[in-house]
Amino acid sequence: MKRVMIIGAVGAGKSSLVRALEGDHEPARKTQTLEFHDWIIDTPGEYSENPLYYRTLMATSLEAGLLLMVQDATRDRNYFPPGFSQGFPIVPIGVVTKMDHPDADAERAKTLLHESLDPNHPVFLTSATTGAGIAELRRFLLDALKT
């Protein structure tokens, strides 16, 4: 089974999301390098923020079946370049993190994500803290990886 590769800015909540999807309740540590898990590949936020790493992300995506593009619901900017998902040879899915946060703005986050992800792709709203949206996302991803 291919894996899900997760990308997004430093501190966007990627590793916390990975742990929530895996049912691990330990806090996430800083991600220093590509981390291959059972069915997920976690990436350092620097790889999404610094164009020097884009080739590494593209190459790693060849080992993945799905791309998760993460947007932090509390942030007012998008860290991906315009149309970024089109550079990857795999199906992209948007995920908004930190929906539990008082500053979370789902509509802003979706609008930001859609600058880099074509609007025909789904966007899931999640919180690793409360678990909101996690079960639906896990089910969707595991189904999509099987087909």
Ligand X SMILES: Nc1nc2c(ncn2[C@@H]2O[C@H](COP(=O)(O)OP(=O)(O)O)[C@@H](O)[C@H]2O)c(=O)[nH]1
Segment interacting with ligand X (CB under 6 A) among 59-67, 92-100, 115-123, 138-146: 92-100
Task: Say whether residue 13 binds ligand X (CB under 6 A).
Answer: yes
Taking alpha carbons only, the member of 91, 96, 112, 122 closest to residue 4 is 91
Cα–Cα distance for residue pair 21/128, rounded to 1 Å: 8
Helix (H, G, I), strand (E, B) or coil at 4: strand
Site string for ligand X, 46-85 (x = CB under 6 A): ----------------------------------------
Cα–Cα distance for residue pair 32/55, rounded to 1 Å: 17
Binder of residue 13, out of Mg ion, ligand X, none (CB less than 5 to 8 A by kind): ligand X
24-36 as b/e, with b when 16 or more CB fall inside 10 Å? Answer: eeeebeebeeeee
27/82 with CB nearer ligand X = 27
The structure tokens 């996430």 sit at: 28
Task: Say whether residue 95 binds ligand X (CB under 6 A).
Answer: no
Residues of this chain that bind ligand X (CB under 6 A)? 8, 10-16, 28, 31, 45, 97-98, 100-101, 127-129
